[in-house]
Structure 1
Amino acid sequence: MNRFPPITCLVLLAALPVIANDGAMHDGSRGPEPLEKTESPVRMVSEHIEVQFGAKRSTVHCTFHFRNTQTDAPVTQLLGFPDEGAAIDGARRRGWPLMDPTLSPIIRMRTAVNRRPVKSQLHVVEVAPGEEGGHFAFWDAHHQHGISAWYTLEVKFPVGRDVVVERFYTVENGWTMPSVRYFHYTTETGGAWKGTIGRLQADVTLRDGLTASRLVWPGTSISDSKFEKGRPGTTEPERAAWQVRDARHLRLVWKEFEPRTEPEHRGFTISRRAPSDA
């Protein structure tokens, strides 16, 4: 997989950009990525993303299984998990002019390694224009100041034994106009691990009266606006890719994929009408 910037510039994990005046994205959308100089020798064997998708908030439990592909030496890796909402708060406290200050920080982030709770640290760093990795930061309205925020955790990967990393958190759902709220999860950062990602399973539970048939799928019309495939806030991938297990439960499964070179495997979105328009 691809190489990426050195550890001296940890802004690699900034979350996806926001289209000004069109919508806001919650954070917690990206999985952990190794923050090192070269491709990691550790492989992401599998990831299981469990989402409780509510009217205004989503609760998420991510389980990542990792395997050290080296047979002669353990690996110590610094993992990062971004919080762009915290970066926005940092920019606001600094008085920067913001085009869209509506992103919310991650709520109640918890981490476990091999089922044991551990602490991860939230770091907020300013980035200057032209700095390596600066294109991953959140920038003010004039693109003069950048800032990135992420939770970091050092993890040891022994030889011959898998390591399980879990994240538990809650986020405010993102929104787009007109009247749509959504949860988005990005797999693209997984391209930094060794080889392909062996398997992704995303299990989504729909809360607050929502059913699969009422999701905002491509082709849904709301307030004289039709949501086309690929439009921000539309449920993706298309319905045929999902297993609709019953009215309130959906499952998505991908196997042996490389998200950086396969656009169709770079993430998923669950979208609903805002509560007032449901």
Structure 2
Amino acid sequence: MHSDTASARIPAPATPSAPTWDPQQYLRHAGHRTRPFLDLLNRIPELPTRPARIADLGCGPGNVTALLAERWPEAHITGFDLSPDMLRRADEEYAGQTPGGGSLEFRHGDLAHWLPEEPYDLIVSNAALQWVPSHPGSFPAWINGLRPGGTFAFQIPANFTAPSHALLARLCDAPRWRSRLAGHGARYIHLLEPGDYLDRFVELGCTADTWDTTYHQLLTGTDPVLDWVKGTALRPVLTALGDDRTAVEAFLAEYRDLLREAYPPGPRGTVFPFRRIFAVARKEL
């Protein structure tokens, strides 16, 4: 068959759409997901004013936003997220006055376009900026939105070359799935390395600390790595397949088998190495 004729019959690859989120699935591994944020939180210096004004970019279901209120109980904290389901869960569980006299609120916000609407003492983001390819371009505006002595801090997953993500990208581009899923499994190649983030913040006049850590997480249960990625990396795929349950089950079965080979269980669980990048940038006084 002539190649031009064959290519004309193959639908164009789908454009990745904004994923829908499942707060309950995301929180199934809340302990492991929260640990990097606690490590980040421990490196954030004291804030310049009290009560502090804090923005949490990509707040998700609000569980880590609440940890900010524990560290700064008088602070007025706003979590921003694009997902109505995540915001609904955050509102139900955490919104309102805090015991220390501060407040927690949650608003709709697209991190690709978010700009500080008032001076902040802290702008923080936990495992969200990997979904925003343009995020380094927002650093000047976000740093400018800090009070003198304020801090911008984030942590992001950086395991896009790990088998969990490499296999997902390869499967999405396989002949059976390419027309519906090409591009949905490879969304992390725009991340910078710690040294590159450091250079960005130094250029912006900040005192900065950047680093990376690989957490060797012990997951338990049946197909725990698949269960993990159902809450994060698989969301664009599941969103694209929508209500086609036959396709969803077939894709998950193929991906499950690949993950079982890549991450064999041990006697006490399955080890799932997970690299993350951290940055803490403090604006000069």
How high is the TM-score relative to the length of structure 1? 0.30
- Return the structure number with greater helix share: 2
How high is the TM-score relative to the length of structure 2? 0.30
Which of structures 1 and 2 has the bigger CA Rg? Answer: 2
**Which has the higher relative contact order, 1 or 2, with Cα contacts under 8 A spaced 6 or more apart?**
1
